[in-house]
């Protein structure tokens, strides 16, 4: 069972209220390690919120270029690992016999925290050579009036955030603003991998004609993942980084930042946004 929250006592101090500090229960977003194994060999460890772990593993393998489709995976299952009692913090993936095993590069850091995913020059080089989808040719157009409504729709779907206030979200939308799937996680990159892993298992890749909205900033890692999934548009409620803008420009992807209230900044391929 997914352990998305943990309740623990806290001392509530409010200098604007009368009375002494009081003890009360508080809900915390769960953060636990997930080890991703390929053919029982450890590949990566990420700090994540438990839940949709198979999607997370599948999305990670796809966005890292280790697999190209769901057909590359024979089985993917949670297993016990070495924990006692079993916490189901290990996903073991068996690839098809014809799929090359992943080659771990010493320049790659496959331990990822909840605040930052895999990054660095090796990642940039890899995505430029491995991305199999031409998002520049995607004819998607989205009305600006539709885009500005999406953050509220994403926020309304964040049930665990309502209890904890400590989770990022990623949502896959249609051009008409329909929320197709939403995932929450302490790591923004994990939330995106969970969405992409779901789409991979559902046979929806490439995600032609869809857009991805993230609740935080638009980093290089998220732009890379969006490109690997064939997404033509990535939007964020906060700022993009320089590498995110450069990568989106190279890919022909539309990158939107500061999507708040009734305004936004369009950093690349603005022709997809209609006013």
List pLDDT tens digits, range 181-239.
999 999 999 999 999 999 999 999 999 999 999 998 999 999 999 999 999 999 999 99
Residues 6 or more apart whose CB falls under 8 angstroms from that of 122 comprise: 105, 107, 108
Phi and psi torsions of 125, nearest 5°? -60, -40
Nearest to 184 by CA among 202, 199, 166, 196: 166
Model confidence, pTM: 0.89
Phi and psi torsions of 173, nearest 5°? -125, 155
pLDDT tens-place string over residues 71-93: 999 999 998 666 556 668 999 99
Encode 106-140: b = buried (16+ Cβ within 10 Å), e = exposed.
Answer: eebbbebebeebbbeeebeebbeeebebebeebeb
Tell me, what's the pLDDT at 1?
42
Tell me, what's the pLDDT at 251?
95
The H-assigned helical ranges of 70-164 are: 121-130, 144-147, 150-156, 159-164
What is the distance between the alpha carbons of residues 115 and 122, in angstroms, rounded to a whole number? 19
Residues assigned a catalytic role: 116
Left (φ > 0), alpha (ψ -120 to 50) or beta: where does 153 sit? alpha
Tell me, what's the pLDDT at 18?
83
pLDDT tens-place string over residues 134-184: 999 999 999 999 999 999 999 999 877 667 777 899 999 999 999 999 999
Beta-bridge partner residues of 213: 171, 235
Question: What are the tokens at 262?
Answer: 């009734």
pLDDT tens-place string over residues 5-51: 788 899 999 888 888 888 989 889 889 999 999 998 999 999 999 99
Helix (H, G, I), strand (E, B) or coil at 191: helix
Helix (H, G, I), strand (E, B) or coil at 188: helix
| Max CA distance (Å), the chain | 68
Tell me, what's the pLDDT at 119?
47
């Amino acid at each position: 069972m997914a352990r998305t929250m943990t309740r623990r006592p806290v001392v509530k101090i409010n200098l604007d209220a009368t009375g002494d500090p009081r003890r009360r229960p508080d809900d915390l977003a769960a953060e636990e390690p997930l080890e991703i194994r390929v053919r029982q060999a450890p590949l990566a460890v990420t700090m994540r919120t438990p839940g949709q772990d198979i999607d997370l593993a599948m999305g990670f393998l796809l966005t890292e270029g280790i697999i190209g489709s769901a057909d590359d995976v024979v089985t993917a299952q949670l297993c016990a690992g070495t924990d006692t009692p079993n916490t189901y913090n290990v996903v073991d993936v068996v690839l098809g016999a014809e799929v090359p095993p992943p080659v771990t590069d010493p320049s790659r850091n496959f331990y990822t925290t909840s605040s930052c995913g895999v990054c660095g020059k090796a990642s940039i080089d890899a995505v430029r050579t491995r991305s199999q989808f031409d998002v520049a040719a995607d004819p998607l157009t989205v009305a600006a009036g539709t885009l500005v409504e999406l953050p509220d729709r994403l926020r309304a779907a964040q049930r665990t955030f309502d209890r904890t206030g400590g989770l990022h979200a990623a949502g896959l939308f249609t051009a008409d603003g329909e929320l197709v799937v939403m995932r929450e996680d302490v790591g923004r990159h994990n939330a995106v991998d969970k969405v992409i892993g779901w789409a991979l298992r559902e046979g929806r890749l490439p995600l032609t004609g869809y857009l991805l909205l993230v609740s935080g900033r638009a980093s290089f890692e998220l732009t890379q993942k969006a490109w690997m999934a064939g997404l033509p548009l990535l939007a964020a409620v906060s700022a993009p980084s320089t590498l995110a803008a450069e990568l989106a420009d190279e890919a022909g992807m539309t990158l939107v930042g500061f999507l708040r209230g009734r305004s936004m900044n369009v950093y690349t391929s603005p022709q997809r946004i209609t006013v």
